[in-house]
């Protein structure tokens, strides 16, 4: 497995790979890998000749009071896991390498960024679009893989690719969960033992809410009561929206999403389902 630290090294690898007639699958990450990331590598390996993973904690998507400096990092462990998963190349640039100068051009997320996490994190998805645009161009990937746990991010990136005719396709990866239903996340390490046990109720609340929606009932009040009783976390939001438009006009597929703030970790989760199913 190759470790690529500079843009030039990555571009040279891409040129050699394309010259050999190979397709490229991209798995963008911020590191501290878990089974969710590795499941995307597995999917990418099945659909491409070569797989490149990026490991880059992107400062552009963190607000002034957010946890950029505290975000968990373990590059040696990440390299080992990426290699074991069969990744062909890992791109691990510095901040200076990715952003050598102040950007003069900005890409701004649209209305999809005004709900869910985006409502309280202004500029966050602009930062996401900035880094993925660079990664898409640098890797010339045929397919790029993103997890459904970050469903708002996934919907916005799909819009970017469609609206600007990127010559690539986005692949969705299912949310990977612990045995008790908690979605895998790099931030789970910040949970206390008590909070970790409580966090399993997030998935249970979502399932309860889905059942209420399918019965034609409003789910948010019941979900709020359940989470308030079962966890010590502060509910940031619970929302039911159309997917992937993220509007309140639900046509078919719906997303039921929530965010709960524990003492040192803010957890998000969601389920996407056909709201018309019997």
Mind telling me the catalytic residues?
Answer: 37
230 close to 207: Cβ distance less than 8 angstroms: no
The reply, when asked if residue 37 is annotated as ligand binding, is yes
Neighbour-count burial of 59, counting CB atoms closer than 10 A to its CB (0-12 exposed, 13-18 middle, 19+ buried): middle
The reply, when asked if residue 50 is annotated as ligand binding, is no
The reply, when asked if residue 65 is annotated as ligand binding, is no
144 close to 25: Cβ distance less than 8 angstroms: yes
The reply, when asked if residue 261 is annotated as ligand binding, is no
The reply, when asked if residue 249 is annotated as ligand binding, is no
Rounded to the nearest 10 degrees, the angle between the axes of helix 151-163 and helix 124-139 is 60
The reply, when asked if residue 124 is annotated as ligand binding, is no
The reply, when asked if residue 106 is annotated as ligand binding, is no
In the sheet where 2-4 sits, what is the strand order?
A: 2-4, 89-91, 50-55, 24-29, 143-147, 169-173
Place of tokens 């050699």: 16
The reply, when asked if residue 241 is annotated as ligand binding, is no
The reply, when asked if residue 212 is annotated as ligand binding, is no
Place of tokens 């046990």: 197
Q: Taking CA 106 as the corner, what is the angle to CA 140 and CA 126, rounded to the nearest 5 degrees?
A: 80
The reply, when asked if residue 107 is annotated as ligand binding, is no
Place of tokens 């889905």: 210
78 close to 55: Cβ distance less than 8 angstroms: yes
The reply, when asked if residue 185 is annotated as ligand binding, is yes
The reply, when asked if residue 103 is annotated as ligand binding, is no
- Give dist(CA 107, CA 146) in Å, integer: 20
- For the annotated binding site, the residues are 30-37, 61, 147-150, 153, 176, 184-187
Binding residues for ATP: 30-37, 147-150, 176, 184-187
Query: Which residues participate in the annotated binding site for (R)-pantoate?
Result: 61, 153
Q: Which residues line the annotated binding site for beta-alanine?
A: 61
């Amino acid at each position: 497995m190759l470790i690529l630290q500079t843009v030039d090294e990555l571009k040279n690898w891409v040129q050699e790979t394309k010259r050999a007639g190979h397709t490229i699958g991209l798995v963008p990450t911020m590191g501290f890998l878990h089974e969710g990331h590795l499941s995307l590598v597995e999917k990418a390996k099945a659909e491409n000749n070569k797989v490149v993973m990026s490991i880059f904690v992107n400062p552009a998507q963190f607000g002034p009071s957010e946890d950029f400096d505290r975000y968990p990092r373990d590059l040696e462990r990440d390299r080992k896991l990426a290699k074991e998963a069969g990744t062909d190349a890992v791109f691990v640039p510095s901040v200076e390498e990715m952003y050598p100068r102040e950007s003069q051009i900005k890409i701004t997320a649209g209305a999809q960024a005004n709900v869910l996490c985006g409502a309280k994190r202004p500029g966050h998805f602009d930062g996401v679009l900035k880094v993925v645009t660079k990664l898409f161009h640098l890797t010339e990937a045929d397919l790029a893989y993103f997890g459904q746990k970050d469903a708002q991010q996934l919907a916005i990136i799909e819009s970017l690719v469609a609206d600007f005719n990127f010559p690539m396709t986005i692949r969705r990866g299912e949310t990977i969960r612990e045995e008790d239903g908690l979605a895998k996340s790099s931030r789970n390490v910040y949970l206390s033992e008590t909070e970790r046990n409580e966090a399993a109720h997030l998935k249970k609340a979502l399932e309860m809410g889905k059942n209420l929606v399918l019965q034609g009932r409003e789910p948010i009040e019941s979900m709020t009561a359940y989470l308030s009783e079962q966890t010590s976390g502060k509910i940031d939001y619970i929302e039911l929206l159309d997917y992937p438009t993220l509007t309140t006009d639900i046509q078919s597929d719906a997303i039921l999403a929530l965010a709960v703030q524990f003492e040192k970790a803010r957890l998000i989760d969601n389920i996407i389902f056909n709201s018309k199913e019997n």
